[in-house]
Amino acid sequence: MNLTALEMAVFAPFLIQGLAMMFDEFYSHHKRGLPRWERIGHPLDTITVLSCFVFVLVADPSETNLWIYGGLCAFSCLFVTKDEPVHSQLCGGAESWLHSVLFVLHPLSFVAAGLIWAMERFENLKPLLLGQGLSVTIFLIYQIGYWNIYAKKHAH
């Protein structure tokens, strides 16, 4: 698959967001552990993200669908902020800064997916968007399995 510079640039928010999420998850969360509220809330956040990616993969671009997609994205962007009262009490400065970076990348990833959806070469780029959706799905399964089954069972 030959990608133009613009097409490669559109995928940058996914890559940067993924790296930031992995650092937040595997360094910050594992270091401090997650209370019950976050063990439930973080997978819910991921479901809102996944719903946006699934929508652009199954719906045809249209004016109506653009409004629906925008609504899903806006809901997700607001929904992920629900944990900030808890985070302000539990997180140090570095993790709080990382969360602010993720809040900036969150809507940028949705804009990127929307741009890909609208591109004439969407069918050629669809496998990359499917990969992003698959990555989010795997992360969701991990969040549920690790934090709500494994870590809970092995808590001291």
Contact 133, 53 (CB under 8 A): yes
Predicted local distance difference test score (pLDDT) of residue 3: 78
Predicted local distance difference test score (pLDDT) of residue 120: 84
**What are the tens digits of pLDDT across the range 33-43?**
999 999 999 99
Predicted local distance difference test score (pLDDT) of residue 116: 93
Predicted local distance difference test score (pLDDT) of residue 1: 67
Specify the DSSP class assigned to residue 86. Answer: H
What is the reported pTM? 0.92
Q: Closest Cα partner for 55 from 64, 65, 45?
A: 65
**What are the tens digits of pLDDT across the range 1-14?**
677 888 888 899 99
Q: What are phi and psi of 77, to 5 degrees?
A: -60, -35
Rounded-to-integer distance, Cα 58 and Cα 5, Å? 26
Q: Which residues of the chain are under the pLDDT cut of 70?
A: 1, 154-156
Specify the DSSP class assigned to residue 4. Answer: P
Domain residues of the chain, as ranges? 11-27+38-148
Predicted local distance difference test score (pLDDT) of residue 105: 96
Q: Closest Cα partner for 17 from 107, 137, 117?
A: 107
Predicted local distance difference test score (pLDDT) of residue 7: 82
Predicted local distance difference test score (pLDDT) of residue 86: 85
- Straight-line distance from the first to the last Cα atom of the chain, in angstroms, rounded to the nearest whole number: 49
Rounded-to-integer distance, Cα 60 and Cα 40, Å? 32
